[in-house]
């Protein structure tokens, strides 16, 4: 039994639908800002944005590559819900540890720089600054 995945080749019709969906989404955003600039009610401007986005999603859903992208987006949201986020106390402690490490490294690098400066300029080359 073979576990090879079959990948379909998108047709030019699918590519056209994806391009048209992007254009529809951009048109919705442009329509929103245009209507908002014309002092139209926020409901009308929001409706233009929503209509453009809904039309874009419907166009994407009708294409193979768009459907694959929307399924990927759904799976991504599902995976982010599985993440165990640190508590406020844990995040604060991790941040303090990082800051302490940065301070220690800064002091170490400054000390190393000054030691090399002393060795090179004062002892080896004899240049007094």
- Spatial distance between the Cα atoms of 59 and 13, rounded to a whole number of angstroms: 11
- The yes-or-no verdict on residue 84 having pLDDT over 70 is yes
- The yes-or-no verdict on residue 5 having pLDDT over 80 is no
pLDDT at 128: 66
Q: Is 86 helix (H, G, I), strand (E, B) or coil?
A: coil
Q: How many Cβ atoms are within 10 Å of 35's Cβ, its own excluded?
A: 18
Q: Is 4 helix (H, G, I), strand (E, B) or coil?
A: coil
Interval 25-76: pLDDT, tens: 999 999 999 988 888 888 888 998 999 999 998 888 888 887 888 789 899 9
Overall residue count recorded for the chain in this entry: 129
pLDDT at 104: 98
pLDDT at 13: 83
pLDDT at 6: 52
Contact criterion met (CB below 8 Å) for 10 and 64? yes
pLDDT at 3: 60
pLDDT classification of 122: cutoffs 50, 70, 90: confident
Measured at the alpha carbon of residue 64, what is the angle toward residues 60 and 70, in degrees to the nearest 5? 50
Percent of the chain with pLDDT over 70: 91
pLDDT at 129: 58
């Amino acid at each position: 039994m073979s576990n090879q995945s079959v990948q379909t080749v998108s047709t030019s019709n699918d590519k056209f639908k994806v391009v048209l969906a992007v254009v529809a989404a951009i048109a919705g955003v442009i329509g929103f800002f245009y209507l908002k600039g014309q002092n139209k009610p926020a409901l009308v401007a929001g409706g233009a944005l929503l209509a453009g986005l809904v039309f874009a999603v419907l166009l994407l859903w009708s294409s193979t590559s768009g459907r694959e992208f929307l399924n990927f987006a759904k799976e991504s949201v599902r995976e982010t819900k599985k993440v165990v986020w640190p508590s406020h106390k844990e995040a604060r402690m991790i941040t303090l540890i990082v800051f302490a490490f940065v301070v220690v490294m800064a002091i170490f690098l400054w000390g190393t720089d000054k030691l090399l400066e002393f060795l090179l300029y004062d002892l080896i080359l004899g240049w007094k600054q």
